[in-house]
Amino acid sequence: MTKEEAKNILRYHSFTHEDINHPRMKRGFLGMLRPFLGELVEKNYHEVMGAIKVLADDLREEDKIDREIISTIWSICHLARSWAIQPGGMLRRNNLIKKEQVKKLEDWVEAISYTTMMILDGSDNQTAFEFYQDE
């Protein structure tokens, strides 16, 4: 995967890509939550983590970090929490998501957030991805 492909993957999964009809926009990481059709798509999580891995060196840059990369990752984490993980979020409030699914999604968001934090702090990939299990 190239860096531009990785950026596009993050755009799709965060609902920020201009191609609103692309399948990843409709069923990607955030797309699978709105509307929620009763299942979490694990492939989405792995695509997001794969994109972060490709962009890790760019995120470690000391002089300039691509704001769009951070924005897409932040959107994925924040909106997944507010829509599905927090008790008052639309999926939990309306009893649309099961407790096991909330836990799984919470684990995914935690891994994305932790990995990004560690990369931004300058950690190598082995350390940053220590809690991530590939497909």
CB neighbour list of residue 128: distance below 8 Å, 6 or more residues apart: 56, 115, 118, 119
The pTM is what? 0.95
Confidence tier at 25 by pLDDT (50, 70, 90): confident
Say whether pLDDT at 62 is over 90.
no
Alpha helices in 61-98 (DSSP H): 67-80, 90-93
Say whether the peptide bond before residue 23 is cis (omega within 30 degrees of 0). Answer: no
Closest among 109, 108, 10 to 56, alpha carbons compared: 10
Per-domain residue ranges of the chain: 3-126
> Rounded mean pLDDT of 39-68?
94
Say whether pLDDT at 135 is over 70.
no
User: What's the alpha-carbon Rg for the chain, to the nearest Å?
Assistant: 14
